[in-house]
Amino acid sequence: MNKAQLVEAIADKLGGRQQAADAVDAVLDAMVRAVVAGDRVSVTGFGSFEKVDRPARYARNPQTGERVRVKKTSVPRFRAGQGFKDLVSGTKKLPKGDEVAVKKAPKGSLMAAAAGGRATVKKAAAKKAVAKKAAPAKKAVTAKTAAAKKAVVKKTTAAAKKTTTAAKKTTAAAKKTTAAKTTAAKKATAKKTAPAKKAVAKKAPAKKTTARKTTTAKKTTARKK
């Protein structure tokens, strides 16, 4: 049975199809609004509708078998009443004719239920208002903590940069001093070796004189002969 068939089924009792359609729409709208607001809609002998929160969980894709994370959500849930269960299971017989299958609620219970529903709706609205007020305060606190963390990080990074630059400067100065020392040592060794080379060069003419002496001696001996 769909909605149109339901309207046709109760049209005779409500005096026309339009009246039945309006009644069905009004009942369903009231039930949906109450469940969305977090209220529990209970119909004696038929069942109850309520909102249920499902936490985040992991599920598996039936087609691929892949593990998928399902977000937190809220779903409507219907629980059949005992009278409805008994009629469906056959424990009780379904009334014939124009008798109503679902027992009517006792007098005064509808008013009490309506008052309770209004109270729960008011409580839910109050909770939402408190949550909205608390949300900006939490955001402000989180913003302050984030700003403080950023300031600390900036300070630490600046100090680290300063230390690294100082270390670089010290290493550069050390390199310069070592280079200057090595160049000075090279110059000193070059100066020391230069006079020795000059002395060796000056001593070289002695060989020439000895060579001249030997040649002259040979010449004189040749003449005497």
Residue ranges of the domains in the chain?
Answer: 3-53+68-130, 185-224
Tens digits of pLDDT across the chain (225 residues): 999 999 999 998 888 999 999 999 999 999 999 999 999 999 998 999 999 999 999 999 999 999 999 999 999 999 999 999 999 999 988 888 777 777 665 555 554 455 555 555 556 556 666 556 655 555 555 566 666 677 656 776 666 677 666 667 766 666 776 666 766 767 766 666 555 555 544 554 545 555 566 666 666 666 665
What pLDDT score was predicted for residue 128? 60
How do beta strands 73-80 and 67-70 pair?
A: unpaired
> According to CATH, what is the number of the domain 3-53+68-130?
4.10.520.10
Amino acid at 19: Q
pLDDT, residue 187, reads 74
Whether 54 contacts 73, CB under 8 Å: yes
SS3 assignment, position 19 = helix
Closest CA to 58 of 49, 68, 43: 68
pLDDT score, position 210:
54
Token readout for 93 is 């017989």
pLDDT score recorded for residue 138: 53
The pLDDT value recorded for residue 49 is 96
CB within 8 Å of 109: residues ≥ 6 apart: 44
Residue 47 confidence (pLDDT): 94
pLDDT the model gives residue 176: 74
Distance of CA 80 to the CA centre of its chain: 41
| Contact (CB, 8 A) for 79 and 48 | yes
Indicate the pTM of the whole model.
0.45
Between the alpha carbon of residue 165 and those of residues 159, 169, 177, 221, the distances in Å are: 10, 6, 18, 85
Q: In this structure, what DSSP letter does residue 37 have?
A: T
